[in-house]
């Protein structure tokens, strides 16, 4: 009973300190981000065009994403619901900054940012009425882990007659306008071959002594290699910036757009100014047509290799390692059994992973066909899926703790499938490994998955299968070649102790998932999650007589 009470307290504390979006009309807050809906005026005239902004205050070390998130991530979206006849323009994105995590380079915002939209007020709006702006805002906020969040904001502005002062609005609007990239004042040409993408910028009125950095942020994924160094030099009034082409290089029929960020040393420190760049493929100085026809295959080959390496490293991530250990302990226990049976179990485990990655890739292809933009781990944006995986992680933890082996309760299904001694147990361990791997990232994965999500279905599935092969490789090698099994320790009491110890990462994963659920769906969803976890946990303990 002590263990049960301790677990319930842990989950209760998680619910207490996990804050979902708590709407207060024009502002709302999660644990990582406070959002406000602000306007350029305090009131509107019929027919006005105003600026409305979603201001985000982000806690230290966390960030949200630009329109092109880079190697991974998801851009913020704003869905406005406006009175009849009113319209909203596209998001005006401030100049982003680079955010690096190992080899992964993302584009986004830290500390604070305001995303602006132009809103047109209908001419038919009557003076004395209220112009109500509703905004549903979704973002992905990340540190080392990422949490999808959403809030709903409302701003009421009075409609006043022509000639009546509309007020100054929020000062955050002017600050946001100052952070928007300006139209480039310089003529820009582009030279391009298969290895180098080079900007030639003429009539630059900049001093080499004050320029500290120059960086180009492409508006679309794949046109530029996000993680590659961008070298620049200023000679007289000419600035040259050299980039490395990305996985989806520019073609003759495309236009390269983005933001050129120039950082200078000013009187008050470093100042970064952004300039909009827009160059069509037809203006490229050296022939794009010279690109070899075989390069797309080369790019796919590189993506497959990166996916394979990322899958191998994924085995060491905290989300996957405990699940892999379940089967590794089983392999140690039965190392002296029939080698043929061991090999078949390894193949069953691999098959479980490949089938799961194939299904995941198929769902991605189907959702992409509808025009939606999704990425790795997209299913964790569904509160129901997060709740189901939280139950599964808790059940696996209870099973590893020895609370039950094969239970009749619903909570026991996932872990009992994974712990079956036969081929089905190996298969479902592979399925379970895939499920718990999807909220995790590893080196090399970002570039491979980013490439895959822009490719035709066959290439996307190939990348996902190679990622699965990498994930399956360590256990597959151990099961297929008895020579490697010689390096495994001998069975003993330590196996039971290790197995019980591996339960705690599973409990931790369940706690984290309940926290994610709180961000997505609020305290009511947490109450449902804790109720289900408490019921199934209590049921299992009661059956044991605890």
Q: Is the CB of residue 197 less than 8 Å from the CB of residue 250?
A: yes
Interval 231-258: pLDDT, tens: 888 887 788 888 888 777 777 677 889 9
Interval 261-293: pLDDT, tens: 998 887 777 888 899 988 865 445 443 333 333
Residue 122 neighbours by CB under 8 Å, 6+ apart: 46, 47, 83, 84, 85, 86
Strand segments, DSSP code E, in 321-432 are none
CA 126, distance to chain mean position in Å, is: 44
pLDDT interval class at 4 (50, 70, 90)? very low
Q: What is the CATH number of domain 183-290?
A: 2.60.40
Query: What pLDDT sits at residue 158?
Result: 94
Spatial distance between the Cα atoms of 125 and 131, rounded to a whole number of angstroms: 8
In the predicted structure, residue 336 carries a pLDDT above the cut 70? no
Region 468-485: mean pLDDT is 78
Query: What pLDDT sits at residue 116?
Result: 97
Secondary structure, 3-state, 464-484: HHHHHHHHHHHHHHHHHCHHH
Q: What is the CATH number of domain 32-179?
A: 2.60.40.1250
Q: Is the CB of residue 181 less than 8 Å from the CB of residue 218?
A: no
pLDDT interval class at 295 (50, 70, 90)? very low
Query: Residue 373's CB: how many other CB atoms inside 10 A?
Result: 11
Alpha helices for 114-271 (secondary structure H) = 171-179
What is the H or E stretch that residue 460 is in? helix 457-480
Please provide the average confidence, as pLDDT, over all residues in the chain: 75
Interval 341-388: pLDDT, tens: 778 878 888 898 899 888 888 877 887 676 555 555 555 566 776 777
Polymer length of the chain: 546
Across 39-53, 135-149, 209-223, 393-407, the highest mean pLDDT is recorded for: 39-53
pLDDT interval class at 18 (50, 70, 90)? very low
Domain ranges within the chain, ordered by starting residue: 32-179, 183-290, 295-371+382-544
Spatial distance between the Cα atoms of 444 and 303, rounded to a whole number of angstroms: 9
pLDDT interval class at 418 (50, 70, 90)? very low
Interval 128-178: pLDDT, tens: 999 999 999 999 898 877 788 889 999 999 999 988 999 989 999 999 999
Query: Residue 208's CB: how many other CB atoms inside 10 A?
Result: 11
Domains 32-179 and 183-290 belong to one CATH topology? yes
Query: 207 vs 419, which has greater pLDDT?
Result: 207
3-state helix, strand, coil in the chain (%, to 5): 40, 25, 30
pLDDT interval class at 62 (50, 70, 90)? very high
Interval 84-93: pLDDT, tens: 999 999 999 9
Query: What pLDDT sits at residue 76?
Result: 94
Spatial distance between the Cα atoms of 518 and 394, rounded to a whole number of angstroms: 17
Query: What pLDDT sits at residue 119?
Result: 96
Query: What pLDDT sits at residue 472?
Result: 85
Report the percentage of the chain scoring pLDDT > 70: 65
Region 389-416: mean pLDDT is 55
CA 496, distance to chain mean position in Å, is: 36
């Amino acid at each position: 009973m002590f263990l049960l009470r301790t677990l319930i307290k842990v989950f209760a504390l998680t619910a207490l300190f996990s804050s979902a979006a708590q709407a207060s009309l024009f502002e709302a807050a999660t644990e990582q981000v406070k959002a406000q809906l602000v306007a350029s005026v305090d009131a509107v005239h019929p027919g006005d065009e105003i600026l409305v902004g979603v201001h985000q205050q982000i806690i230290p070390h966390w960030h949200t994403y630009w329109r092109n998130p880079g190697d991974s991530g998801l851009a913020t979206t704003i869905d406005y619901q406006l009175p009849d006849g009113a319209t909203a323009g596209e998001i005006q994105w401030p100049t982003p900054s680079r955010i690096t995590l190992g080899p992964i380079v993302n584009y986004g915002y830290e500390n604070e940012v305001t995303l602006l939209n132009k809103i047109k007020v209908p001419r038919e709006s009557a003076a004395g009425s209220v112009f109500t702006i509703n905004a549903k805002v979704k973002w992905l906020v990340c540190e080392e882990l990422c949490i999808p969040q959403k809030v709903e904001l409302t701003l009421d502005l009075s409609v006043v007659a022509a000639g009546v002062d509309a007020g100054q609005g929020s000062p955050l609007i002017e600050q946001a306008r100052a952070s928007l990239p300006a139209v480039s004042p310089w003529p820009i040409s582009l030279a391009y071959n298969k290895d180098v993408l080079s900007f030639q910028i003429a009539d630059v009125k900049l001093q080499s002594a004050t320029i500290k950095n120059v960086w180009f942020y492409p508006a679309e994924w794949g046109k530029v290699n996000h993680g590659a160094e961008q070298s620049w030099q200023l000679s007289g009034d000419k600035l040259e910036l050299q980039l490395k082409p990305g996985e989806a290089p520019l073609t003759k029929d495309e236009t390269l757009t983005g933001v050129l960020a120039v950082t200078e040393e000013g009187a008050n420190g470093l100042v970064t100014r952004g300039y909009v760049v827009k160059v069509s493929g037809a203006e490229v100085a050296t022939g794009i047509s010279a690109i070899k026809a075989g390069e797309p295959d080369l790019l796919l080959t590189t993506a497959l290799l990166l996916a394979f390496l990322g899958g191998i490293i994924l085995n060491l991530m905290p989300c996957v390692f405990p699940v892999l250990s379940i089967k590794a302990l089983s392999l140690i226990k039965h190392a002296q059994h029939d080698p043929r049976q061991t090999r078949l179990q390894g193949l069953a485990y691999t098959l479980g992973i490949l089938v799961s990655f194939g299904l995941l890739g198929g769902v991605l292809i189907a959702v992409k066909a509808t025009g939606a933009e999704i990425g790795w781990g997209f299913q964790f944006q569904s509160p129901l899926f997060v709740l189901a995986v939280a139950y599964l992680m808790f059940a696996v933890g209870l099973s590893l703790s020895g609370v039950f082996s094969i239970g009749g309760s619903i909570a026991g299904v996932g872990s009992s499938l994974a712990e079956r001694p036969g081929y089905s147990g190996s298969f479902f361990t592979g399925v379970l490994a895939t499920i718990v791997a999807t909220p995790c990232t590893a080196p090399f994965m970002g570039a491979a998955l980013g490439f895959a999500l822009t490719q035709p279905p066959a290439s996307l599935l190939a990348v996902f299968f190679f990622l699965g092969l990498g994930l399956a490789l360590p256990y597959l090698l151990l099961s297929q070649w008895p020579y490697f099994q010689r390096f495994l320790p001998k069975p003993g009491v330590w196996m039971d102790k290790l197995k019980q110890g591996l339960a705690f990462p599973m409990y931790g994963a369940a706690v984290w998932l309940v926290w994610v659920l709180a961000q997505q769906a609020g305290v009511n969803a947490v109450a449902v999650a804790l109720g289900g976890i408490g019921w199934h946990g209590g049921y299992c303990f009661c059956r044991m007589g605890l």
